[in-house]
A = this chain, B = another copy of it.
Amino acid sequence: MLVRTLKGEATAQVPIWLMRQAGRYLPEYRALREKTGSFLDLCYSPEQAAEATLQPIRRFDLDAAILFSDILVVPDAMGQPVRFAPGEGPVLEALADRVSIDALITDRVESHLAPVYEAARLVRAALPEAIALIGFAGAPWTVATYMIEGGSSRDFARTKGWAARDPEGFDALLAKIEAATLRHLLAQVRAGAQVLQLFDSWAGVLDEAFFERLVIGPTKRLVAGVKAEAPDVPIVGFPKGCGILYARYAAETGVDAVSLDPAVPLDWAASALQPHVAVQGNLDPILLLIGGEAMARRSGQILAALAGGPFVFNLGHGVVPPTPPEHVAELISLVRKATGT
């Protein structure tokens, strides 16, 4: 059902899945996590990554599983090692110059990330046919920020500075990320992924000129690359926080669907985006944390505004760790009831 909706059908039922539906808010995930080494060890252990992926599916009536992994496995596979320091987020040795860009390797994605694809195969084999498997990657701009800043950033000064001062070098970096990401996405499809999502978490910090060059351009090329090899796999783009620029993103990148952050007004999404692409979103994860009447009211507004066109119910970004799992069950039940299934 998810695949059909993302291809533009207004299906009778509204499919639902949640970003970060696997993870720390689930006690069984925390138990699994205690038995593994680092976060990256978990991503690279096929059985355990498959288990983490399947945990929410066992508990909840969801329409999709999203492979348990991370957007930074791509730089890791390119020879820029990533580690996840507890409490401080991802840490990479920041790219310093053109030499460090030239040193990046794009052709060992399939070997370095073989355990990720094995996890996908295990998940696909264990999933009921009606539940879709979603593969994903970071979009090139967002991945580039981590590679250049060496982790999270407040203002992305180094990345924007590099893009402005050395456009050739920066384009070379984007081209390498695109090449590695294309391989990563296609390998996930071969391993059983039926839908792909591109996370562009930092798309919202760019002005339109940068957005066109650093978000729309690379995304369009990447989508074209996937479509050339896997034309039937719908692609969801998530240029989080980009506001009015969602319209250009939806019109120009070639994605089948856009995932909306909570700040996107529903009526605008219905009139400006949904005629062109399927939409997915956009309940504030804090309303899922709160639950009850506040969650029910806003979910009802979302369904009323968007369920008339191709629409996938989701959050506006990921489940937060203190979320009570019962709220997830309640939300799914609300969506099922409201759409008569």
CB-CB under 8 A from A284, the residues of chain B are 160, 206-207, 210
A286 in contact with B241 (CB, 8 Å): no
Closest-CB distance, A286 to chain B (whole angstroms): 4
5 extra interchain contacts, Cβ-Cβ under 8 A, other than A164-B294, A243-B244, A243-B264?
A: A157-B289, A205-B263, A208-B266, A241-B241, A241-B263
B241 in contact with A161 (CB, 8 Å): no
CB-CB under 8 A from A25, the residues of chain B are none
Assembled-state Cα–Cα distance A242/B222 (Å): 28
Closest-CB distance, A16 to chain B (whole angstroms): 18
Stoichiometry, as copies per complex, reads 2
Q: Tell me the A222-262 residues at the B interface (CB within 8 Å).
A: 241-246, 248, 262
A206 in contact with B160 (CB, 8 Å): no
Q: Mark A257-279, 1 if CB is under 8 A from B, else 0.
A: 00000111110100000000000
Closest-CB distance, A61 to chain B (whole angstroms): 25
A289 in contact with B161 (CB, 8 Å): yes
Assembled-state Cα–Cα distance A62/B244 (Å): 31
With most chain B CB atoms within 10 A of its CB, the pick from A160, A246, A297, A322 is: A160
Closest-CB distance, A19 to chain B (whole angstroms): 14
Q: Mark A177-209, 1 if CB is under 8 A from B, else 0.
A: 000000000000000000000000000111111
CB-CB under 8 A from A207, the residues of chain B are 262-263, 282, 284, 298, 316
B286 in contact with A156 (CB, 8 Å): yes
Q: Mark A289-321, 1 if CB is under 8 A from B, else 0.
A: 110001001100100000000000000100010
Assembled-state Cα–Cα distance A264/B266 (Å): 19
Assembled-state Cα–Cα distance A300/B241 (Å): 25
Interface of A with B (CB < 8 Å)? 155-157, 160-161, 164-165, 204-211, 241-246, 248, 262-266, 268, 282, 284-287, 289-290, 294, 297-298, 301, 316, 320, 322
B263 in contact with A206 (CB, 8 Å): yes
A265 in contact with B298 (CB, 8 Å): no
A155 in contact with B320 (CB, 8 Å): yes
Choose one: B160, B246, B265, B286; the contact of A245 (CB below 8 Å): B265
Closest-CB distance, A239 to chain B (whole angstroms): 10
A160 in contact with B286 (CB, 8 Å): yes
Assembled-state Cα–Cα distance A244/B297 (Å): 22
For the complex of A and B, 8 pairs with smallest distance between CB atoms: A243-B243, A164-B294, A207-B262, A160-B286, A208-B265, A164-B290, A244-B268, A157-B286
Assembled-state Cα–Cα distance A210/B284 (Å): 10
Show 8 residue pairs from A and B whose CB-CB distance is below 8 angstroms, ordered by the A residue: A157-B289, A157-B320, A164-B287, A205-B263, A207-B282, A209-B298, A242-B243, A243-B244
CB-CB under 8 A from A155, the residues of chain B are 285-286, 320
Assembled-state Cα–Cα distance A310/B4 (Å): 48
- Chain B: which residue is nearest A167 at the CB level? B294
B241 in contact with A204 (CB, 8 Å): yes
- Chain B: which residue is nearest A160 at the CB level? B286
CB-CB under 8 A from A282, the residues of chain B are 207
